[in-house]
Amino acid sequence: MPLATMEIDFLKQLIAQRSGNVISSNQDYLLESRLLPVAKSAGLANVNALVAELRKHANGLLPERVAEAMTINETSFFRDMAPFEALRSNVIPYMLQARSASKSLNIWCGASSSGQEPYTIGMTLREYFNELGAWNVKIHATDLSEEMVKRTQDGTYSQFEVNRGLPAQMLLRHFERTGNSWRARPELRKMIDARRMNLTGPWPTTTQYDIVFLRNVMIYFDQPTKEQILKRIHKVLRPDGYLFLGGGETLITLNVPFTRETIGKTVCFRPVAV
Ligand SMILES: C[S@@+](CC[C@H](N)C(=O)[O-])C[C@H]1O[C@@H](n2cnc3c(N)ncnc32)[C@H](O)[C@@H]1O
């Protein structure tokens, strides 16, 4: 039976509560197609039955699975390129000087999907900054989706995925073949610490980050959620740190303590004191 308006509204509200993701009315059709597998895996006949079950049991894993199933996980290696050029040309050279005493660098890649973005950061560091070999460098990768986190931890990508953006020479240097796929070499994998984390939930971290990547996820949130998340990022980003958002994401209409800085063909954001 097609979903009734009340069922659609119920699901949208649950998804917004669980993940901050706003499902617009032209995406209603996705509820049915994306949630049917969730219903089936819970032993339910269809999405109507899933809604009935969720109404009875508001807690537990099922609402989480629903929210995760509605996320868009599109990503690729070296997506948009310019932020990684900025890392190479300005940001890491700055950090090499600014952190020369501690020799420690903490990078957070929030909403990292299946891991191509944190692996791209790792490869950029390994390709161009040999000296970081003697540093304590951590790339924290987080995502709402358990499945995406597992993929990042595993670091294995299909031929199709590596063909999207990863130059052949880099593929051969940083990945090894496993059957029809490619797996990140251990030295690259060990730079990445991947965990599940909901940007709209508690943030179990005491780390102060030097660089934060939070790209192509803010588009799914409403204005107050964006502001809340950015204010929380301000708290975990060092005063001279760098924040990268997605190419189409801007802070123009938001009341948040960051200022724009252009580096080459990209824009990044620096915290301002509050
Ligand atoms: C379009 S992908 C972006 C991936 C990568 N940052 C990039 O730019 O290529 C968006 C990711 O955000 C994640 N996401 C959505 N809502 C989230 C939330 N509330 N907390 C954490 N991650 C979330 C999704 O699971 C998805 O993997």
Give per-residue pLDDT as tens, 218-261: 999 999 999 999 999 999 999 999 999 999 899 999 999 999 99
Alpha carbons 14 and 21: distance in angstroms, whole number: 10
Does the structure show a pLDDT above 90 at 193?
yes
From the CA of 130, how far away is ligand 1's center (Å)?
A: 30
SS3 assignment for 176-244: EEECCEEEECHHHHCCEEEEECCCCCCCCCCCCEEEEEECCCHHHCCHHHHHHHHHHHHHHEEEEEEEE
Element (H, E) at 13: helix 5-19
Give the pLDDT confidence score for residue 1 in this predicted structure.
Answer: 82
- Where are the chain's structural domains? 5-69, 82-271
Question: What φ, ψ does residue 181 adopt, rounded to 5°?
Answer: -115, 180
- 5-69 shares its CATH topology with 82-271: no
What pTM was estimated for this model as a whole?
Answer: 0.96
When pLDDT is cut at 50, 70 and 90, the band that residue 148 belongs to is very high
Does the structure show a pLDDT above 90 at 89?
yes
What is 82-271's CATH number?
A: 3.40.50.150
Residues flanking ligand 1, CB < 6 Å: 19-21, 71-75, 79, 111-113, 117, 143-145, 148, 198-200, 215-217, 220, 246
Rounded to the nearest 5 degrees, what angle is found at the Cα of 228, between the Cα atoms of 60 and 113? 60
Mean pLDDT along residues 204-215: 93
- Side-chain-side CA neighbours of 184 within 13 Å: the count stands at 27
Does the structure show a pLDDT above 90 at 3?
yes
What is 5-69's CATH number?
A: 1.10.155
- Pocket mutation for ligand 1, best pick of 113, 146, 149 (most atoms within 8 Å of C-beta): 113
Give the pLDDT confidence score for residue 206 in this predicted structure.
Answer: 85
- Pocket mutation for ligand 1, best pick of 17, 18, 21, 71 (most atoms within 8 Å of C-beta): 71
- Pocket mutation for ligand 1, best pick of 144, 166, 212, 243 (most atoms within 8 Å of C-beta): 144
